[in-house]
Amino acid sequence: MLEFEKKFFLPYQRRWISDTSRLKIIEKSRQIGISLASAYRLVREHSYEGCRYDAWISSRDEIQAKLFLDDCKKFSQILHVAAQDLGKEVIAYDKKSGSASLLFRNNRTLYSLSSNPDAQAGKRGTRVLDEFALHPNPRLLYAIAYPGITWGGQLEIISTHRGSDNFFYNLIKDITENGNPKQFSHHKVTLQDALEQGFLRKLKAKVSKNDPIIEMDETDYFDYIRRSCPDRETFLQEYMCEPYDSQSIFLPTNLVEDAEMGYDPRKITAESDLFLGIDVGRTNDLTVFWLLASVGEVLMTKDVIVLKDRPFSEQEVEFYKLLTLPMLRRACIDQTGIGRQFAERAMERFGKYKVEGITFTNSVKEQLAYLLRATFEDRAIGIPDDKHIRADLRAIKKESTFAGNLRFAAEHTGNGHGDRFWALALAIHAAQSAQSRKKVHLEPILHNWRVEKLLCRNTIYH
């Protein structure tokens, strides 16, 4: 069977498979086959006579759990391991727990668990925590899973990074900077590492002959993936094992993910009040129209329109289409610089109540940013799951000036400069200021803003 492993798996996969350490962890690039290697190892180790342990796999969601067990089933067939049917299928689903199981002839079982950490409690045997950093509470998951190997078995942690404030990053930092107190066996595989060890060859064997990567070499493919990412920061984290600095990110990732989970445009009706935010750009920056609909206490995204390198006349046509929507109550537009003419012409045509021009001073941007974050913290916003939106919301970083003031900045990328963030902030402000909607109380938000500015000043002088 060693010959099969050499033929089927790449060197970094074989190292992971052959590692028998009690605790092992891998920080990895996306989609390079580490979970597949773990599935193979589980089948190989738990299907032989004399194996003493079951294994428990925790994936980030139910779909991933099924895919992992499907891989295990395929390897059981390849290895000629006879799996016993549970019910009608080799893989049976427990309707109560939502878990899946694969039972071998030796009565050892592979179980797939939900992402709920409590599902780990009271179970003995090997643990595989797949996409660990993406679990809702990685710290609690680890705390409950670890005692399960007290009487034997392995604990495997597999993940791509999810920011520097994640428990997965803390585990890696302990290993690389603090002497590895937990004694993990540490693996790390970037996209570059995988390419150097034959990944592209394996990938080409799987894709269609018409796929553009067929004609690429390793350098071309690396550049292709890098260009496909919404920004440099995303590429470094998702493919090069370099977590982004969560401390400087103004809007935490978990709040963005919650807003994506809460997105349900089906709740928007023809009677829903609409609110519009516009951030105007021309060459280097985008023009973004963000349209929100009021659904009870939640602002649901109805549309996000992005224009790039479009003449102002075309942008104005798009703007007026939105302003004539019957249920549009208020629109707020950044009138700083090139947006001033847009704002003035719209106010003349539609009235100063319906259209509000806002000049972006540092103070105004702070208030808009904190109102946006408060709306996310209250789980009162729904946004689409879109990589460009996510990148823009995450791009805004809070910086302190020498004088102790706060400044909100974003790196220029090929697809925006935080433009979607400010369009959304203006749309939320439009909803907050419109009399047709119960107003958000701004004073607590401004209090937090003032406290943060004070802390910022203290940091500067100490």
- pLDDT for 252 equals 83
pLDDT tens, position by position, 28-81: 999 999 999 999 999 999 988 889 999 999 988 778 878 888 899 888 888 765
Query: Each residue of 5-33: pLDDT tens digit?
Result: 888 999 999 999 999 999 999 999 999 99
- Candidates 431, 410, 406; CA nearest to 420 is 410
- For residue 56, the model assigns a pLDDT of 94
Kindly list the domain boundaries of the chain, sorted by start residue.
2-201, 253-461
The tokens of 211 are what? 């796929």
Strand ranges (E), 209-341: 274-279, 287-295, 298-307, 328-334
Q: State the residue for tokens 């009870």.
A: 296
Phi, psi of 419 (to 5 degrees): -65, -35
In 88-242, alpha helices (H): 138-145, 167-177, 191-196, 199-204, 218-228, 232-240
Write the pLDDT tens digit of every residue in 96-126: 444 578 888 888 999 988 778 888 898 999 9
- pLDDT of 442 higher than 50: no
According to the model, what pLDDT value does residue 21 have? 97
DSSP letter at 259?
H
Rounded Cα–Cα distance for residues 354 and 332 (Å): 8
Can you give the pLDDT at residue 430?
A: 95
Do the domains 2-201 and 253-461 sit in the same CATH topology, yes or no?
Answer: no
- Model pLDDT, residue 283: 59
Percent of the chain with pLDDT over 90: 56
Residue 460 has pLDDT above 50, yes or no: no
Give the CATH number of domain 2-201: 3.40.50.300
Average pLDDT, the chain: 85
**Distance from C-alpha of 47 to C-alpha of 83, rounded to nearest angstrom:** 9
Q: What is the pLDDT of residue 67?
A: 86
**pLDDT confidence of residue 405:** 61
> Could you report the per-residue pLDDT of 289-336, keeping only the tens digit for each?
999 999 999 999 999 999 988 888 888 899 999 999 999 999 999 988
Alpha carbon distance, N-terminus to C-terminus of the chain: 63
CATH topology of domain 253-461: Nucleotidyltransferase; domain 5 (3.30.420)
Cα 109 to Cα 56, 130, 238, distances in angstroms: 9, 18, 32
65 CB-near residues (< 8 Å, 6+ apart): 57, 59, 99, 100, 112, 113, 114
Mean pLDDT of 217-244: 91
Q: Give CA 384 to chain center in angstroms.
A: 12
Q: Which of 290-299, 341-350, 411-420 has the lowest mean pLDDT?
A: 411-420
Question: Which regions of 12-84 does DSSP assign to beta strands (E)?
Answer: 23-28, 55-58, 83-84
